[in-house]
Amino acid sequence: MPNPADAPIYVTDALIAEDIDAYLAQHQQKSLLRFITCGSVDDGKSTLIGRLLYDSKMIFEDQLAALETDSRKVGTQGQEIDFALLVDGLAAEREQGITIDVAYRFFTTEKRKFIVADTPGHEQYTRNMITGASTADLAVILIDARKGVLTQTRRHSYLAHLIGIKHIVLAVNKMDLVGYDKAVFERILLSYRAFASEIGITNFTAIPISGFKGDNITALSDNMPWFKGPALIEHLEGVEVAAQRDVNSDFRFPVQWVNRPNLDFRGFSGQIAGGSVRPGDAVRVLPSGKTTTIDRIVTIGGDLDEAVAGQSVTLTLADEVDCSRGDVIAAADAPPEAADQFEATLVWMADEAMIAGRAYWLKLATQTVSATVQQPKYEINVNTLDHLAAKTLELNGIGVVELSTDKPIVFEAYADNRTLGGFILIDKLTNATVAAGMLHFSLRRAQNVHWQASDISRDMRANLKNQKPALLWFTGLSGSGKSTIANLVEKRLHRMNRHSFLLDGDNVRHGLNRDLGFTEADRIENIRRVGEVAKLMTDAGLIVITAFISPFRVERDMVRSMLPEGDFIEVFIDTPLAEAERRDVKGLYKKARAGQLKNFTGIDSPYEAPETPEIRIDTTAMSPEEAADLIIDRLLG
């Protein structure tokens, strides 16, 4: 092998000189492979990349001249060229002789174009490696032939596997320093294979190389006649790229931007994250679930008949359905799920540790929502792969967590779709990207939260209080007299040594339900929460009295169905609207009539009177005191 400095500098493809148009036509058809190199400085990683650039003629004379000067000044290879200097870009890195960030390099061969993510190898740079690996189709894991499989080899392999890289290349480097010994290579191969199968890597390609001398990089080396190939570049040129797999899955299109140049055109712009699409295809817009069909695939060069995963296009739909940024247009017969609770693997990337319960922004595809993370189920030791108990995740920590979002997001398992399964967490205060995550599956509350049995039963608690628990649910118009009568009832119960509790509508809205407004959805949630609290109190043996307008039959029935048969006693305070409005104790009817209060029951929002209440109180026929007596009689009598 000649000294690299004496090697021909720039030997180009003969076709370039002879027939440039033929060369360009051929070059335009090349595919793209993105790969990552993992290893530390000592493994000769930067040297290998420098070598790849050099051997594929991506180094120009002026760069080479600068490289030669640098090599003599700060190089570690004596008078020889230090290829690592080509790659370690930042001044700080050159001075310290380490790689602290991800650098992207580009080279092309006759068959393919390559983008290499060069990432540092040390444990403190785990996040950098994850970053570089997230877009890679393949990982080259470097091993120093003199050292064999080390802890860091295991770490790099685990991380590459974790991020879903399907093609692993084990490059056993520095073969020149072990006399190109076949036995050394095979010993390493054997021990790596055992480890790889342990973590689920079923397939990898091992190649003995010397990045420094150039053995088995572009062509098989005479120094290792026992190795039958492939050479590294030959292998990189041959592997199948991941894009192909995406094309064969179901159609997925996260909407990035609504394209609305004028009133006659409404398109949805985005990059296809899975499958393919044609005009006429039936699609579903998620999370709303509305179905429609694809009308056109619009591009500046004219409409397309088909578009496939990886392409950025603009779609129009046959019907006017609601659809905006963050929604996902998907195959109608195989839509992805929407959920708000998940299990995920999290890689922590910030100096400040994870805080369980704090709200972070979660960005997944084009959806950004607020999310909270629970304490890790466990943290993974990236060196031993042991599962450890953990309260938080520190910088470079990797763990499995449960997280919940403030509204449902459309997703798929990361293993099925990287775009709809990979997410980042953003600190709401500093705006820093603090974590990367990969969704495993959604957690449905009913499925995954189990009832905890306790030894003291509901009846035992009630017996101790010498009473039968019940829920007196007062319903009626605003100003009908609910609170007045409910209060009198509780005073009488108290005098009779009964244990009671009055849940008042206004009071609850100051605390438990202060995040709720008066929209229909919020009023429903208000009642649901009150029902749950009342149920816990009856479980504790109390007689619970509630006073809410609760205008909708279906919500009152919802609460009724939460309690044991007979415990829910519906008390209808029957005051006609005209009478309630005449009293107008709080002045609310006046405001509502003036249009200052929206959604006011009886005015612009309906009241559905109970059809068969347990107790009906006609306030036009009896006083509040008489009403209270009647209710006590019916309850205890």
Helices (H), 402-519: 418-421, 445-448, 458-464, 482-495, 505-510
Question: Phi first, then psi: what are they for 220, rounded to 5°?
Answer: -65, 140
Site string for another protein, 378-417 (x = CB under 8 A): ----------------------------------------
Closest approach of another protein to the CB of residue 142, in Å: 20
Contacts of another protein in 598-627 (CB under 8 A): none
Rounded to the nearest 10 degrees, what angle do helices 126-133 and 151-162 cross at? 40
Contacts of another protein in 204-263 (CB under 8 A): 241, 243-244, 247, 256-257, 259-261
Contacts of another protein in 515-574 (CB under 8 A): none
Contacts of another protein in 11-40 (CB under 8 A): 12-13, 16-17, 20-21, 23-24, 27-32
DSSP secondary structure letters along 295-357: EEEE-TT---S-EETT-EEEEEESS-----TT-EEEETTSPPEEEEEEEEEEEE-SSSPP-TT
Region of 293 please: left (phi>0), alpha (psi -120 to 50) or beta. Answer: beta
Task: Single out the segment in contact with another protein by CB under 8 A; choices: 102-110, 337-345, 591-599, 603-611.
Answer: 102-110
Query: What is the 3-class SS of 86-141, one letter each residue?
Result: HHCCCHHHHHHCCCCCCEEEEEECCCEEEEEEECCCCHHHHHHHHHHHCCCCEEEE
Element (H, E) at 557: helix 553-562
Nearer to another protein, 364 or 569 (CB): 364
Q: How many residues bind another protein (CB under 8 A)?
A: 81
Contacts of another protein in 135-174 (CB under 8 A): 135
Contacts of another protein in 298-357 (CB under 8 A): 298-300, 306, 308, 310-312, 314, 325, 349
Amino acid at 108: T
Nearer to another protein, 140 or 489 (CB): 140
**Upper half-sphere CA count for residue 289 (Cβ side, 13 Å):** 3
Nearer to another protein, 71 or 550 (CB): 71
Task: Single out the segment in contact with another protein by CB under 8 A; choices: 227-235, 383-391, 426-434, 581-589.
Answer: 426-434
Bridge-partner residues for 437, per DSSP? 346, 423
As a whole number of Å, the end-to-end CA separation of the chain is: 105
Q: How far apart are CA 51 and CA 53, in angstroms?
A: 5
Bridge-partner residues for 405, per DSSP? 371
All residues at 6 or more sequence positions from 341 whose CB lies less than 8 Å from its CB, including other chains: 402, 403, 404, 405, 442, 443, 444, 445
Nearer to another protein, 128 or 619 (CB): 128
Nearer to another protein, 348 or 552 (CB): 348
Q: Among 483, 550, 605, 623, which one carries the catalytic annotation?
A: 550
Q: How far apart are CA 470 and CA 459, in angstroms?
A: 12
Q: Copy the structure tokens of residue 513.
A: 């339900």
Question: Phi first, then psi: what are they for 421, rounded to 5°?
Answer: -120, -15
Site string for another protein, 474-513 (x = CB under 8 A): ----------------------------------------
Q: Are 141 and 160 in contact (CB under 8 A)?
A: yes
Closest approach of another protein to the CB of residue 552, in Å: 38
Amino acid at 488: L
2, 8, 61, 514: which one binds another protein (CB under 8 A): 61
Closest approach of another protein to the CB of residue 276, in Å: 7
Q: Is 249 a catalytic residue?
A: no
Nearer to another protein, 41 or 627 (CB): 41
Nearer to another protein, 64 or 622 (CB): 64
Task: Single out the segment in contact with another protein by CB under 8 A; choices: 83-91, 214-222, 498-506, 554-562.
Answer: 83-91
Task: Single out the segment in contact with another protein by CB under 8 A; choices: 200-208, 270-278, 285-293, 472-480.
Answer: 270-278
Nearest to 260 by CA among 213, 203, 325: 325
1, 9, 460, 536: which one binds another protein (CB under 8 A): 9
Is residue 276 a contact residue for another protein (CB under 8 A)?
yes
108, 375, 487, 599: which one binds another protein (CB under 8 A): 108
Nearer to another protein, 219 or 395 (CB): 395
- Annotated catalytic residues are 550
